[in-house]
Amino acid sequence: MVLAFDFGARRIGVAVGQTRTGSASAASTLPAHSGKPDWTAVLACVREWAPTRLLVGVPYNMDGSDTSTTDACRAFGEELSRRCSLPVEFVDERLTSTAAYDELRDARRSGARTRRIRREDIDANAARLILETWLRARSGG
């Protein structure tokens, strides 16, 4: 079991995945306040899913340079590893929020999704894309 996090100043998207099946699903969105995670909620999520590995998306500019939030994402991952005593891997999350929104918008247009798209939906789906990126890299694809 693997958990992936899309860290943000207001919300943290969470996805869960299986290395055996190569599957990933959006799981939830946890609160953050002014860039500070709600650690009680984060740790409860980790306890609930009992993963063996954690992933944290790290944003980069298209040229590979750090963004204004890259350091905060790394700091979140380091603290997450410390608090959970689990390995954390960082995954390049360039454009995942845009791709997550595009997927949700297309599903809504096609009728596969009936309710409106919320920011929480985008964050959880961005975490799913982070996890899928990691699974593909792990399998050599």
pTM summary value: 0.90
- Per DSSP (E only), the strands in 20-59 are 23-33, 36-37, 53-58
Indicate the pLDDT class of residue 141, thresholds 50, 70 and 90: low
Cross-strand partners of 3: 16, 54
What gap in Å lies between CA 92 and CA 134, rounded to an integer?
A: 9
99 pLDDT above the threshold of 90: no
